[in-house]
Amino acid sequence: MSSHLKNETEPTMWTAKLRNSWQRNLPIDKLLPDTQPAYVASWIYIFGVLTIAAFGDIIVSGLILSFAGPAWYHTSSVGLFVNSLHFWGVQLFFVFMVVHLWGKFWMAAWRGRRFRTWLTGIAAFLASIGTAFTGYLIQTNFDSQWIAYEAKDGFNAVGIGAFFTPTNIGQIMLIHVALLPLVLGAITVWHVLLVRKNGVVPPIDAAPEGGN
């Protein structure tokens, strides 16, 4: 009798199971909180948000550059401005991310069962390096040509030149515009959701949370 009632109350559709799992692990008050601990007012907690803001600038300016093409952003004044927005957005993105990464390292941000949050941050950093590298390859100027041929020799030396060809601008453009931003965006979303689920890591000298 009890097993029959259990079967009637348990959801059978995958959508219901997914919804229940989401509500159990990340309720709306955690997903969209209206209060934060007092220690979040410290400047070190700002760099994660600044990294996401710079990433947003990169995505928007990158989409405009992709639709307009190199002939536009190398000759038009507006194109040069958008290209500069994209370039400096990348520089700020890495500055903010590195400060955020090292700040969280010295704060031991994996405490309180936040190891997956830390790992997704590391994965985002590695994905961003690949995205920046392919971005430099498609500048369509002398710098990108030099970088591409030097990278080609390096990849051929380790035996992966047949799969990844830095001098193939079509392949690099596809990887830079269509693949890696999606990968980096998905990791970033996962990282933010884990932060929402587990909360922002407190300072080391704060009161224990009841778990490591």
Q: Is the pLDDT of residue 16 over 70?
A: yes
Q: Whole domain around residue 177: which residue ranges?
A: 108-203
The model's pTM: 0.82
Number of domains in the chain: 2
Q: Is the pLDDT of residue 212 over 50?
A: no
User: Phi/psi of residue 164, each to 5°?
Assistant: -135, 110
Same domain as 167, residue 84: no
Per-residue pLDDT band at 14 (split at 50, 70, 90): confident
Same domain as 147, residue 80: no
In a domain, 84, yes or no: yes
Same domain as 112, residue 199: yes
In a domain, 87, yes or no: yes
Is residue 100 within 8 Å of residue 51, measured between CB atoms?
A: yes
Same domain as 131, residue 82: no
Q: What is the mean pLDDT of residues 22-37?
A: 80
Same domain as 180, residue 124: yes
Same domain as 199, residue 113: yes
Q: Of 63, 91, 119, which residue constitutes the final position of a domain?
A: 91
Per-residue pLDDT band at 22 (split at 50, 70, 90): confident
In a domain, 36, yes or no: no
Same domain as 81, residue 129: no
Per residue in 145-169, pLDDT (tens digit) is: 999 999 989 888 888 877 888 888 8
Q: Is the pLDDT of residue 1 over 50?
A: no
In a domain, 186, yes or no: yes
CA gap 166, 154 in Å, rounded: 10
In a domain, 165, yes or no: yes
Same domain as 182, residue 115: yes
Same domain as 124, residue 77: no
Q: What is the mean pLDDT of residues 174-187?
A: 93
Same domain as 141, residue 63: no
Per residue in 76-119, pLDDT (tens digit) is: 999 999 999 999 999 999 999 999 999 999 988 888 889 999 99
